[in-house]
Amino acid sequence: MSAPSFRFWLDLARAGNFPSVWSNVLAALVLSAPAAGTWPSPGLLALTLLAGSLAYAGGTTLNDVFDAGFDRKHRPERAIPRGLIARSTAGWVGSLQLGLGLGLLGFLGASPLAAAGLGATILLYDWLHKRWTGSVLLMAGCRVMLAVTLATLPGQFMGRTFLAWLVALFVYIVVLSLLARREYRPGAPAEKLGKIVRKMLAFIPFVDAFALLASAAWIAAAGCAAAVPLGKWAQRKAASS
| pLDDT tens digits along 53-112 | 999 999 999 999 999 988 888 788 889 999 999 999 999 999 999 999 999 999 999 999
183 three-class SS = coil
φ, ψ at 230 (rounded to 5°): -65, -40
Radius of gyration of the chain (CA): 17
Q: Among 33, 31, 26, which Cα is nearest to 163's? A: 31
What is the predicted pLDDT for the residue at 131?
Answer: 83
User: ∠57-159-207 over CA atoms, to 5°?
Assistant: 50
Cβ-contact 202, 217 below 8 angstroms = no
What is the predicted pLDDT for the residue at 73?
Answer: 85
Q: Among 2, 5, 40, which Cα is nearest to 217's? A: 40
Indicate if the pLDDT at residue 187 is higher than 80: no
Helix (H) or strand (E) holding 105: helix 87-107
Least confident of 3-12, 97-106, 162-171: 3-12
Alpha carbon of 8 to those of 13, 146, 204: distances in Å? Answer: 9, 25, 24
What is the predicted pLDDT for the residue at 186?
Answer: 67
What is the predicted pLDDT for the residue at 121?
Answer: 98
Q: Among 193, 224, 220, which Cα is nearest to 206's? A: 224
Mean pLDDT of the chain: 92
Cβ-contact 114, 145 below 8 angstroms = yes
Report the residue count for the chain: 241
Q: Which fold has domain 3-237?
A: Farnesyl Diphosphate Synthase (1.10.600)
Q: What is the pTM of this model?
A: 0.93
